[in-house]
Homo-oligomer: A and B are copies of this chain.
C-alpha cells in the first residue's frame, strides 16, 4: 500500500485534469461512434470484431480467440455474434466436429474495407494530430503504465475472469 502523500482527495489541478480527461473520452467516443454508425451502420463493437476477423489470415477465428483479442466477456461476445450473424456480417460455421468458427462474410468484408480508412482518418484528425508525436509518445507510455498498475493490483485482489 502506497502512502498517499496528499490525502485521498484530489486537489484542484488534479480534479481539473481528471475531468478534462473524462470529457475528452466521452467526446471522442461519441463522435467516432456516431459517425461510424451514421456513415456505415456499424457500432464500435461491430467494428472491433470485424477488424480482428479481417486481420486474421483466413478471415475466420474461434470465438474465444476473439474473446482474448477484444477482452470481452464471453456472454457479451456470444450475444453480439448472434446479432451480427442476423445482420449478415459474419457466419458461425461448425466445421471440425466441435465448436463453431466465426467467419467474416463478403458483406462484412466490404463493410470493414469501406469504413476502416475513414475511421482511421478521423482518429488521426481528432486524436493523433492534436496530440502530435511527442505528447502522443508520452501518452502511450503512461497508458501502458496504468494498465500495468491495474493489472498488478488485480492479480492480488479481484476475481476478473478476463485473464489469459
What residue in chain B is nearest A117 (Cβ atoms)? B8
Q: Tell whether A147 is near chain B: CB-to-CB under 8 Å.
A: yes
Question: Are A139 and B139 within 8 A (Cβ)?
Answer: yes
Hey, which chain B residues are within 8 Å of A98, CB to CB?
none
A82 part of interface (Cβ distance < 8 Å) = no
* A146 adjacent to B127 (CB under 8 Å): yes
Chain B proximity mask over A128-164: 1 for CB below 8 Å, otherwise 0: 1111010111111011111101110110001000000
Interface residues in chain A, defined as those with a beta carbon under 8 Å from any beta carbon in chain B: 2, 4, 6, 8-10, 13-14, 16-18, 20-21, 23-28, 31, 34, 71, 117-118, 120-121, 123-131, 133, 135-140, 142-147, 149-151, 153-154, 158
